[in-house]
Amino acid sequence: MKALIQKLVETVGPSGYEEKVREVVRAEIEGWVDEMKVDALGNLIARKGTRTEGGMRIALSAHMDEIGVIATHVDENGFVRFTTIGGVSPRTCIGGRVQFLNGVRGVIYMESLESATALPTLDQLYIDVGASSRETCPVKVGDIAAFDRPFLDLGGRLVSKAMDDRISVAVMIQALKELTATPHELYFIFSTQEEVGLRGATTAAYGVDPELALAVDVTRTGDTPKGVKMEVALGKGPAIKVRDSGMLSDPRVVRWMVETAEKAGIPYQLEVLEGGTTDARAMQLTRAGVPAGCLSIPTRYIHSPSEMVDYQDVQLSVRLLVALLSAPVTLK
Amino acid sequence: MTEIKDFLKTLISLPGLSGYEEPVREVISREWQPLVDELSVSRLGSLHALKRGISPEPRPRILLAAHMDAIGMMVTRITPEGLIAFTEVGGLDPRILPAQPVRVFGKEPLRGVIVQPSDRLLPPSQKGKPVEMKHLLIDTGLPAEEVRRLVKIGDPVAFDTEPLELPDELICGHTLDNRASVAALTVCLQTLRRATHDWDVYAVATAQEEETLGGGLTSPFEIRPTLAIAIDVTFAKGPGVNDYRGKTLDGGVVLGWGPQSHPRVFDDLKALAEHLDIPFEIEVYPRASGTDAYAMQIVAEGIPTMVVSIPLRYMHTPVEVVSLNDIRRVGRLLAEYILRLTPEDVQKITWEEA
Amino acid sequence: MSPATSAPQIGENQIALLEKLSNACAVSGDEAQVRRIVLEEIKPFADDLRVDALGNVLAVRKARTPGALRVMVDAHMDEVGFMIVEDDKDGLFRFVAVGGIDERTLPGKKVLVGSENVPGIIGAKPIHLAEEGETERKIPLESLRIDVGLKGGKKVRVGDRATFATRFWQSGVALFGKALDDRLGVATLIELFKNPPENIELLAAFTVQEEIGLRGARPAAYAFNPQLAVALDSTPANDLPVWDGSENIFYNTRLGGGPALYVADSATLSDPRLVRHFAQTGEQMGIPFQFRQPGGGGTNAGAIHRVREGVPSLSVSVPGRYAHTAVMLARLDDWQNTLALVYHALSRLEPGILQR
């Protein structure tokens, strides 16, 4: 599974420009699903299974897009000013590298600041692509780039940009391959534009019209030196979301996930995330409402170019997802 | 038929945090059962009650929405000592929390109190200041292992204030936002009980208003009403509320005027209140009403909406105050409005030039 | 080429219509005055016409060819303004802003209040009485009042909307007026509706409540269920010089630069296929256009593209200076080029554009 993860995280696909990721996913799942389509917003929606006794129409969503930047201006000396796509913090940008969709690479640096301890604002940052004039700069206004950082395998822990949320894309791909039998009509949604406001999942969920929905996404941890206080840690298994700042998971869905994990002997953690939300919110609020929850993969340093996950958590997430989808569901 | 005061006191003694409305939904369901033709629960957890009208199909539908969910808290962490850290659900001012009795809904309900650690136990920046929510703790007084056995991350926490009656039909307690409106909606259904009306009436106790306006977004999608009215509470004049945003406690029905109030429906309700001698005030909201109407208006192809409110003091504290008279007035006005609705009124709820 | 391939022109009649639209008062939530003009203008041309629950005007012009793309084009009727919230007696009224208004631009302006356009003013304290240092501080909105005259209060009610009383004027290629955001879009859409590209089914949405959260466009798009959408709006030209003479890198758009195509704003990532199509149309037809600097802000495309199963969308704006103040400035040539670009880009649309 590591090879798949590496391929996914190293593919460039900022929000709205997920095409290359979509092609990787499509090639991976071809033959493993019953039907595939791409909707108006670029979501890849794959159906697997038909509904039998006790089955439901279930939507699962992991987003293909990653955070990135977009050029707003090229100055007379060829420096590129930019704004963000999704939640990019200036402090993770300085000295970082980006890759534009047309292949151009560049480094981010900043204007000189008033004090050595100050953090730059976004307006004070620029990308240097090695050009020396506006005319010769290979980047123009509106061009889009993703952060550039190679995949790092630390053995038990994996590090990369775009772990959020390619790790979940990998988990979903792996789960749909391992899933041999299901009573459900499953829709695996590889969604777009999550980082800019759950936009892809909003329209995909409307189209699928599910009776039950699960997002697969990353969540923060509280296990780093003087970090946020939060009872989720790497290496303790997948997290079952109870709430985040955009959604209250349906308590019946939480119960189903907890009971399934306990029955299958899969360690899990309960998650209350203060800050951020996932595709589950969009799916919960579509049409006349959908019971929704989220399986979260504990991840350190989210939205930095070095997001870290625990490989065992990842494998356990696949197991939990397979367990959840293999048997009939009764929400209670 | 339950006396509305007793019903309201029951309502505000029940938990029902956003997303966890089941306990209060069951009680409302029992109360409404004899008053309506059909009851169902939406996928999101809103309670839908239908009282059928008598005009020929396709029959116009009015949806009356009062959210039943409550603000509160949720467990985020348990310290090694067995103290409970929490986060808010809905908007809470951390300054009202210290020394507040609460109930933690773990394996069994546990009583506890919110405590602020003393200055010496907090970062120096907190000294003498209101303590931030992330530093506040719930103390159940139980041994750590007992707390760990009974409580887990994500358990809901509710205020534990008992209802209090104040002279002249005032009720005080937590969650009067918006159980007061659920009570008003109940008065409306009680008033309609033996009456016939042309329109179908959908009384909806919505879920998750305080967090996502979830019920307001989803229930109308299912019901597709001709007209939808949100019933909610609004600020009553009193300590901290002195300008145009405050209405009068026990001053009557508050009719909302703003972008989520359809002019024809507003005019009709106002004229009816005048005709029936039901006291009312007008509340203007320039942009967003902050109620389910904000969500309901833009569902599907769009729905004409209106906002009717009950004045309430000390919103989002455990000692909210409303007047039972206002609750009865709102219930009565809505019932009288429904009794007067005819199939032809559908054509009236339009825009001036159309 | 058939005559239908030449874009409609902006002439005296079109400018007169823009003047009428600009002078009309239609604060978000109370768009009656503009709606009336729109209905009057488009009624004779519409194959289907209705006003929905929120007050959106939804009008259809059927295609002349079968299998045509159903394209929604949106322009919002509403403008920023005020709502009267309290009667202070003697013709003085407290008000709050509806939509984003910089309160520093308010003192000393004339306004119109309510459906009868009652004249009023927003006054200011005489400088003689200003205290030490006071002129360096903002005059807070809470201390401003709309004054309709000692006896004028009878015609004004709490809840009435008010907006600037600016009368439109033209000075060469310069167009001055209030609410050009988005009456320029409304005027453009009316012209398109009267002279539609024949290859598409034109679903025209004149929408309400854009300035308070893109609210009208969502139900409008739901009702139309279009295959793709274009939002016509106005966007700031922030192309004034920087105080220290340095390069202006936050111009957003430039006056005279032609229609602004959006790649990204806070509400939408435009569909790349549509961005490409519009840009190519401009290049091939020799119509000047510019890319709006990606960044904040949002148009109705933000609501439209998320409706139902998704609608590939693009925003095209006429650049304008000083939006959301009493006087806005736009250029005739930018308007003409916007109309031309949109017309030609829509005329050249083929269903194949939506294939992946």
The arithmetic mean of pLDDT across residues B223-227, rounded, is 98
- What pLDDT score was predicted for residue B130? 94
Q: 3-state SS string over B75-91?
A: EEEECCCCCEEEEEECC
- Provide, as residue numbers in chain B, all residues whose Cβ is less than 8 Å from the Cβ of A242: 74, 153-154
Q: Which of B209, B210, B283, B336 is catalytic?
A: B209
Backbone dihedral region for residue B351 (phi beyond 0: left; psi -120 to 50: alpha; all else: beta): beta
Q: 3-state SS string over chain A?
A: CHHHHHHHHHCCCECCCCHHHHHHHHHHHCCCCCEEEECCCCCEEEEECCCCCCCCEEEEEEECCECEEEEEEECCCCCEEEEEECCCCHHHCCCCEEEECCCCEEEEEECCCCCCCCCCCHHHEEEECCCCCCCCCCCCCCCEEEECCCCEECCCEEEECCHHHHHHHHHHHHHHHHCCCCCCEEEEEEECCCCCCCHHHHHHHHHHCCCEEEEEEEECCCCCCCCCCCCCCCCCCCEEEEEECCEECCHHHHHHHHHHHHHHCCCCEEEECCCCCCHHHHHHCCCCCCCEEEEEEEEECCCCCCEEEEHHHHHHHHHHHHHHHHCCCCCC
Query: Which amino acid type is present at position C177?
Result: G
Backbone dihedral region for residue C151 (phi beyond 0: left; psi -120 to 50: alpha; all else: beta): alpha
- Provide, as residue numbers in chain C, all residues whose Cβ is less than 8 Å from the Cβ of B287: 28, 98-99, 212-213
Best CA proximity match to A281, nearest among A268, A272, A291: A291
Say whether A16 and C269 touch across the interface (CB within 8 A): yes
- What pLDDT score was predicted for residue C4? 45
CATH of the domain at B283: 3.40.630.10
The arithmetic mean of pLDDT across residues B199-224, rounded, is 97
pLDDT digit string, tens, across residues C166-225: 999 999 999 999 999 999 999 999 999 999 999 999 999 999 999 999 999 999 999 999
- What pLDDT score was predicted for residue C2? 40
- What pLDDT score was predicted for residue A54? 87
Q: Mark whether B221 and B300 lie in a shared domain.
A: yes
Say whether B284 and C209 touch across the interface (CB within 8 A): no
Say whether A287 and B44 touch across the interface (CB within 8 A): no
- Provide, as residue numbers in chain B, all residues whose Cβ is less than 8 Å from the Cβ of A211: 43
Q: How many contacts does A have with B, using Cβ atoms within 8 A?
A: 85
Task: Give A38 to chain C, closest Cα distance, Å.
Answer: 8
In a domain, B167, yes or no: no
* List of residues 6+ apart from B104 with CB closer than 8 A: B75, B84, B110, B111, B112, B138, B140, B151, B155, B156, B157
CATH of the domain at B144: 2.40.30.40
Q: Mark whether B138 and B236 lie in a shared domain.
A: no
Task: Give A164 to chain B, closest Cα distance, Å.
Answer: 23
Q: Mark whether B108 and B219 lie in a shared domain.
A: no
Q: Mark whether B192 and B341 lie in a shared domain.
A: yes
Q: C215: burial class by Cβ within 10 Å (0-12, 13-18, 19+)?
A: buried
pLDDT bracket for residue B206 (50, 70, 90): very high
Is pLDDT of A280 > 90? Answer: yes
pLDDT digit string, tens, across residues B259-268: 999 999 999 9
What is the overall mean pLDDT for chain B? Answer: 96
- What pLDDT score was predicted for residue B114? 97
Which residues of chain C have a Cβ shorter than 8 Å from any chain B Cβ?
28-29, 32, 35-36, 39, 50-56, 82-86, 94, 96-99, 158-159, 209, 212-213, 215-216, 218-220, 222-223
- Provide, as residue numbers in chain C, all residues whose Cβ is less than 8 Å from the Cβ of A81: 249
Q: Which of A28, A194, A271, A307 is catalytic?
A: A194
Query: Which amino acid type is present at position C40?
Result: E
Alpha-carbon dihedral sign for residues C50, C53, C55, C61? negative
- What pLDDT score was predicted for residue C3? 40
Q: Mark whether B155 and B197 lie in a shared domain.
A: no
Contact B175, B16 (CB under 8 A): yes
In a domain, B166, yes or no: no
In this complex, the residue of B244, B257, B262 whose CB is nearest that of residue C86 is: B244
In a domain, B354, yes or no: no
Q: Mark whether B238 and B121 lie in a shared domain.
A: no
pLDDT bracket for residue B353 (50, 70, 90): low
In a domain, B50, yes or no: yes
In this complex, the residue of B287, B298, B350 whose CB is nearest that of residue C98 is: B287
Say whether C215 and B284 touch across the interface (CB within 8 A): no
Q: Please report all neighbours of C, defined by 3+ CB atom pairs within 8 A.
A: A, B
The arithmetic mean of pLDDT across residues B276-287, rounded, is 97
Percent of chain A at pLDDT exceeding 70: 100
Domain boundary among B159, B192, B225: B159
Using a CB–CB cutoff of 8 Å, tell me whether B54 touches chain C.
Answer: no
| CA gap B289, B70 in Å, rounded | 18
pLDDT bracket for residue B1 (50, 70, 90): low
- Provide, as residue numbers in chain A, all residues whose Cβ is less than 8 Å from the Cβ of B221: 287-289
Q: Mark whether B185 and B59 lie in a shared domain.
A: yes
Q: Mark whether B149 and B265 lie in a shared domain.
A: no
- What pLDDT score was predicted for residue C65? 85
Q: Mark whether B185 and B216 lie in a shared domain.
A: yes
Say whether C36 and B353 touch across the interface (CB within 8 A): yes
In order along its 356 residues, chain C shows pLDDT tens digits of 344 468 899 999 999 999 999 999 999 999 999 999 999 999 999 999 999 999 999 999 999 888 899 999 999 999 999 999 999 999 999 999 999 999 999 999 999 999 999 999 999 888 898 888 888 999 999 999 999 999 888 999 999 999 999 999 999 999 999 999 999 999 999 999 999 999 999 999 999 999 999 999 999 999 999 999 999 999 999 999 999 999 999 999 999 999 999 999 999 999 999 999 999 999 999 999 999 999 999 999 999 999 999 999 999 999 999 999 999 999 999 999 999 999 999 999 999 999 87
- Residue B295 belongs to domain spanning: 4-70+174-348
Domains in chain A, start-ordered, CATH in brackets?
2-66+161-326 (3.40.630.10), 68-147 (2.40.30.40)
pLDDT digit string, tens, across residues A140-157: 999 999 999 999 999 999
Chain C residue with CA closest to B351: the answer is: C55
Domain boundary among B95, B125, B159: B159
Best CA proximity match to C313, nearest among A322, A282, A41: A41
pLDDT digit string, tens, across residues B78-107: 999 999 999 999 999 999 999 999 999 999
pLDDT digit string, tens, across residues B138-162: 999 999 999 999 999 999 999 999 9
In a domain, B353, yes or no: no
Select the more confidently predicted residue: C3 or A81: A81
Bond into A43 cis (ω within 30): no
Using a CB–CB cutoff of 8 Å, tell me whether B300 touches chain C.
Answer: yes
CA A71 centroid distance within chain: 23
Chain A residue with CA closest to B221: the answer is: A288
- Provide, as residue numbers in chain C, all residues whose Cβ is less than 8 Å from the Cβ of B303: 53
| CA gap C316, B174 in Å, rounded | 50
Q: Mark whether B233 and B300 lie in a shared domain.
A: yes
Task: Give A266 to chain C, closest Cα distance, Å.
Answer: 36
Task: Give A80 to chain C, closest Cα distance, Å.
Answer: 10
- Provide, as residue numbers in chain C, all residues whose Cβ is less than 8 Å from the Cβ of B301: 52-53, 219, 222-223
Say whether C291 and A141 touch across the interface (CB within 8 A): yes
| CA gap A318, A321 in Å, rounded | 5
* Pairing verdict, β C81-87 and C69-76: unpaired
Domain boundary among B106, B130, B159: B159
- What pLDDT score was predicted for residue B220? 98
In this complex, the residue of B85, B152, B217 whose CB is nearest that of residue A270 is: B152
Task: Give A122 to chain C, closest Cα distance, Å.
Answer: 11
- What pLDDT score was predicted for residue A255? 97
| CA gap A301, A158 in Å, rounded | 12
- What pLDDT score was predicted for residue A194? 97
Q: Which two three-digit tokens encode residue C78?
A: 């509403």
Say whether C308 and A203 touch across the interface (CB within 8 A): yes
Instruction: Select from A243, A252, A290, A294 the residue whose CB has the most chain B CBs within 10 Å, as the one to mutate to test that interface.
Output: A243
CB within 8 Å of chain A, chain C residues 222-281: 247, 249-250, 263-264, 269, 272, 275
Using a CB–CB cutoff of 8 Å, tell me whether B20 touches chain A.
Answer: yes
Is B209 assigned a catalytic role? yes
Say whether C306 and A42 touch across the interface (CB within 8 A): no
Q: Mark whether B197 and B140 lie in a shared domain.
A: no
Instruction: Select from B254, B260, B265, B284 the residue whose CB has the most chain C CBs within 10 Å, as the one to mutate to test that interface.
Output: B284
Best CA proximity match to B36, nearest among B349, B338, B344: B338
In this complex, the residue of B297, B300, B350 whose CB is nearest that of residue C51 is: B350
Q: Mark whether B288 and B320 lie in a shared domain.
A: yes
In a domain, B32, yes or no: yes
- What pLDDT score was predicted for residue C156? 96
> Per-residue b/e over A21-47, b at no fewer than 16 CB within 10 Å?
bbebbeebbeeebeebebbbbbbbbbb
In a domain, B293, yes or no: yes
- SS3 category, C141: helix
Q: How many domains does chain B have?
A: 2
Select the more confidently predicted residue: B186 or C67: B186
The structure tokens 């790497």 sit at A234
- Provide, as residue numbers in chain B, all residues whose Cβ is less than 8 Å from the Cβ of C99: 287
Best CA proximity match to C168, nearest among C178, C154, C158: C178
In a domain, B277, yes or no: yes
Say whether B75 and A291 touch across the interface (CB within 8 A): no
* Pairing verdict, β B164-166 and B170-173: antiparallel
Q: Report in angstroms the alpha-carbon separations of B22 from A75, A245, B31, C188.
A: 59, 21, 14, 52
Starting at the edge strand that comes first in sequence, how are the strands of the sheet with B170-173 ordered? B164-166, B170-173, B320-323
Domains in chain C, start-ordered, CATH in brackets?
3-79+178-354 (3.40.630.10), 81-164 (2.40.30.40)
Say whether A39 and C354 touch across the interface (CB within 8 A): no
Say whether B74 and A287 touch across the interface (CB within 8 A): no
